Each structure stands twice: as structure tokens, then as C-alpha cells.
């Protein structure tokens, strides 16, 4: 959410930012906010004047009674009552105007970084850099669920009967591989100095609206019926929520956290062959990284975070590339975002396995996460998040890039301690 003062003083800058994000239908909101804000400030000023008048007259009543000036005292009481009624009306009006302003401010997009490429949608995202040489084996790479099934590692039919489409049973060595990747990711991040955390897997509505846009919320979140609780779509939600309505000592920044959680997503509109299997699902597990820092430090942390994911995937011998999200592909709260994509030998292209985002002070402003500076000043923190790894989707890249001609799967050296020392996964007799 933008600073209201900034919008009031820079309406054309805000409008141009909306145009750069190709959200022209939101342009009228800027003028509406300015008009509502003017009405709010006028009502508040009148309220302050009436409140001061009421307090002044109230103080006079005792003195008038002491002097025996009963008629004047009764008139003063009448004025106090009249002022109280006017004040109640103005306070109600201010509350109504405040809510009208907030509802509009929540959907006006954050100001994007000037380095963000301008484009309408993800088809105009810009490749930045490749890491590792994409390899195409001299044998056919099967679809990922076929690889898993040959290794007795997945049961989609049973999952459909139990929970419907978009769910899965992972079995045997594939299930162990799934857990091994998460354990390795945890230790990888701890080795980089991040504090490990397992957060709540449900959050309240005030946290939901604090960490994401309404469009994301509708497309992603599952609500618990009869409760003010939502299942998290990523641990970022509850990790940033951890700091809600807090004043953080500047000397303690930055907070660098890595969190594990299951994630739950509606995933509306999934379709096509690549959406089958475990690519786009309603339930998965993820290792995330979160940073809460001073505003001037967030660009540096942004660079560090996406590089962490690249380094992690390279230790597993998976070629990756980075892709900068264009303006039209940025969620409303984001200032800048880079996707990490892994190479798929079967598809002969890259696909997303992680996303790194700098949200500026947008989440902090919504959740009232402030920093107490050494000089006594208070300001909003900056928040960032990035995926370390999100299996089972990541397993697609892992299996395809480590598949051998005989159908077995090689285990990279970094992962072997988490797989009992095994060097490969092979099909077993049923």
C-alpha cells in the first residue's frame, strides 16, 4: 500500500505507474482517493474544532454554577450536548471516509523499481543470465510421472479417489527424495546464516490482506469455514505476519529467516499436459527465505536472495536461468521480482521453480511493521522473500536432469547424506 501523503503530492507519478502496469481501469482510483482524503481532512478539522469548543465550554460550566449563573450554565450544557452530537456525526463520517480511502489504496499498485522492464504479461519477461549448460541426453526423457511410476514413487489414482485432482501420494525412494531435498535446503540456508523457523500454517484475515493483493488472495487462498483463518499459500505469509504491529529496533536488523511449511493453493485455471502430475497442485511443501531490513539495504538483499536459489540448484547439477518479471507480470505489492527457472530436458525449455521478490515497504505499511531508528525516528521496514526450493515441482527438474539411460536416477553428491549415502535410485522388483 502506498503512502497516502506520497499519492496526494504525486498523483501523476502514481497514475503513470498504473499505466506502466497496464491497469488503466484503476486510474480513477487516484482522483477518488484525493477527493475522499480532502473530505476526510475537512471533517477531521471540523471535529477537532468542535472538540476544542466542547472542552472549553465544559470547563466554564462549573465556574458558572459556582457564581449562581444557572441560566448561563444550562445554556452551556445545551451547547456541550449539541457539540457532542455534531462530533459523533463527524467521527462517523471520518470513519466512513477512512475506510473508503483504505479500500481504494489497497488496490492501487506499489511503485515499481525504475529498472523493471515494461511489458503486459509474463510473455514479455526478460531473461537475465544462465547458470550451467543445458544438457539433452541421447535417450528419450519420459514425462515426470512416468519416471516416478517406474520407480514405484507416485500414486495419483488413489489420491484422486481420496482428495480429487491436484493431489498425490509420493512413495518409497521418491518420497524419501522429496524429504531429502527439503532437509538439504534447510541446512543449506542455515549454513548461509539464516535462522530456521517452522511457522503457523494458518493465518487470520488481517494478515492475509497485509501480505498480498486481493487478486492473489482470491486466486490462491483456501478459507477455513466458520473461522477467521486461511490456509497459507506460502510460509512468507505467516513469516511476515510474525512482525505485525511491531516496532523493531534498528540495531537488530536485518532479520534473515528460512522457513519450512506445507502450502495450499487453489491454482485456478490449470490446464494442459504440463499442468498434470505434480507441476501445478493444490498441496506442496516448500523451503522459503525471508528478509526484513532497512529500506536502503533491500536492493542488496534482493540480489543475495535470488543468487542463493541459483547456488542451491547448481549444487544439485540442475541448470537454471534467471528471468526478470516485467511490469505487467508483477503482483501489485511488488517493487521488483526475478524468477528462477530450471532446465527441462524433456520439454527443451526452462520452467519456473522459484521467485524472488522485493516488496519495499508495502507489506510493512499494511501490517504496521515499523523500525525504531538510533536517532529516535520511526519508519517502515522493507520485506523480501524468495523460494529456496518447492518440491514436488522441483522434483520434475531433478528427475529429468539426473535421469540415466537405464531409468535409474543419479543422486548428486550434496544430497547423498540425506539419502542414506545412496548414489542412485533404481526400479525395484514389485
Q: Does 20 qualify as catalytic in the annotation? A: no
Dist CA 313 CA 386 (whole Å): 14
DSSP state of 112: P
Closest CA to 144 of 275, 262, 232: 275
Looking at 204, 280, 410, 424, which residue is catalytic? 280
Q: How many CB atoms lie within 10 A of CB 123?
A: 9
Angstrom CA distances, 247 to 208, 281, 371, 380, 384, stand at 20, 37, 5, 9, 18
Q: How far apart are CA 335 and CA 358, in angstroms?
A: 6
**8 Å CB contact between 17 and 114:** no
Catalytic residue among 186, 265, 321, 346: 265
Distance CA 153, CA 255 (A): 38
Question: Which position among 352, 372, 408, 424 bears the catalytic label?
Answer: 352
Please confirm, yes or no, whether 161 is among the known catalytic residues. Answer: no
> What span, in angstroms and rounded, lies between the C-alpha atoms of 56 and 230?
49
* CB hemisphere CA count around 53 (13 angstroms): 17
Longest dimension (CA), the chain: 107
Active-site annotation holds for 355:
yes
Tell me if residue 273 falls in helix, strand or coil. Answer: helix
| Euclidean distance between CA atoms 60 and 18, whole angstroms | 54
* 186, 288, 349, 382, 384 from 300: Cα distances, Å: 22, 18, 30, 12, 11
Q: Annotated catalytic, 352?
A: yes
Q: Which of 115, 118, 113 is nearest to 333 (CA)?
A: 113
**DSSP assignment letter at 423:** S
CA distance 337 to 356: 6
- CA 427 to each of CA 52, 151, 424: distance values in angstroms, whole numbers, following the listed order: 82, 5, 10
Q: Of 20, 346, 365, 393, which is the active-site residue?
A: 393
Is-catalytic flag, 393? yes
What are the CA-CA distances from residue 347 to residues 64, 145, 146 (Å)? 90, 14, 14
Q: Which residues are catalytic?
A: 265, 280, 352, 355, 393
Amino acid at each position: 500500500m502506498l503512502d497516502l501523503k506520497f499519492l496526494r503530492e504525486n498523483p501523476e507519478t502514481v497514475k503513470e505507474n498504473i499505466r506502466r502496469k497496464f491497469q488503466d481501469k484503476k486510474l480513477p482510483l487516484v482522483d477518488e482517493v484525493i477527493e475522499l482524503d480532502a473530505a476526510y481532512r475537512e471533517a477531521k478539522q471540523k471535529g477537532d474544532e468542535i472538540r476544542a469548543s466542547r472542552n472549553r465550554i465544559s470547563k466554564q460550566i462549573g465556574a458558572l454554577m459556582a457564581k449562581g449563573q444557572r441560566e448561563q450554565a444550562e445554556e452551556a450544557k445545551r451547547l456541550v450536548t449539541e457539540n457532542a452530537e455534531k462530533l459523533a456525526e463527524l467521527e462517523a463520517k471520518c470513519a466512513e471516509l477512512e475506510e473508503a480511502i483504505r479500500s481504494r489504496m489497497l488496490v492501487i499498485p506499489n511503485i515499481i523499481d525504475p529498472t523493471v522492464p515494461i511489458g503486459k504479461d509474463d510473455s514479455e519477461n526478460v531473461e537475465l543470465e544462465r547458470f550451467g549448460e543445458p544438457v539433452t541426453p541421447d535417450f528419450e526423457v519420459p514425462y515426470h510421472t512416468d519416471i516416478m511410476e517406474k520407480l514405484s514413487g507416485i500414486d495419483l489414482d488413489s489420491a484422486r479417489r481420496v482428495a480429487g485432482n491436484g493431489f498425490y501420494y509420493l512413495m518409497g525412494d521418491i518420497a524419501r527424495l522429496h524429504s531429502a531435498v527439503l532437509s538439504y535446503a534447510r541446512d543449506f540456508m542455515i549454513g548461509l546464516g539464516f535462522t530456521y523457523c517452522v511457522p503457523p500454517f494458518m493465518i487470520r484475515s488481517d494478515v492475509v490482506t497485509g501480505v498480498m493483493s486481493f487478486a492473489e488472495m482470491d486466486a490462491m487462498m483456501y478459507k477455513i469455514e466458520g473461522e477467521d483463518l486461511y490456509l497459507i499459500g506460502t510460509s512468507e505469509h505467516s513469516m511476515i505476519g510474525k512482525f505485525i504491529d511491531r516496532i523493531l529496533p534498528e540495531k537488530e536488523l536485518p532479520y534473515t529467516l528460512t522457513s519450512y511449511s506445507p502450502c495450499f493453493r487453489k491454482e485456478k485455471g490449470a490446464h494442459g499436459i504440463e499442468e498434470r502430475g505434480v507441476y501445478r497442485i493444490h498441496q506442496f511443501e516448500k523451503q522459503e527465505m525471508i528478509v526484513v531490513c532497512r529500506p536502503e539495504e533491500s536492493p542488496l538483499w534482493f540480489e543475495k536472495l535470488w543468487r542463493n536459489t541459483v547456488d542451491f540448484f547448481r549444487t544439485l547439477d540442475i541448470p537454471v536461468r534467471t528471468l526478470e518479471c516485467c511490469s505487467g507480470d508483477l503482483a501489485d505489492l511488488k517493487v521488483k521480482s526475478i524468477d528462477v527457472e530450471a532446465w527441462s530436458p524433456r520439454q527443451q525449455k526452462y520452467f519456473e521453480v522459484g521467485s524472488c521478490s522485493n516488496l519495499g515497504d508495502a507489506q510493512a505499511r499494511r501490517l504496521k511493521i515499523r523500525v525504531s531508528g538510533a536517532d529516535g525516528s520511526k519508519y517502515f521496514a522493507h520485506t523480501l522473500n524468495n523460494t529456496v526450493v518447492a518440491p514436488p515441482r522441483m522434483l520434475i527438474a531433478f528427475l529429468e536432469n539426473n535421469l540415466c539411460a537405464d531409468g535409474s536416477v543419479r543422486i548428486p553428491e550434496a544430497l547423498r547424506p540425506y539419502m542414506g549415502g545412496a548414489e542412485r535410485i533404481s526400479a525395484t522388483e514389485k
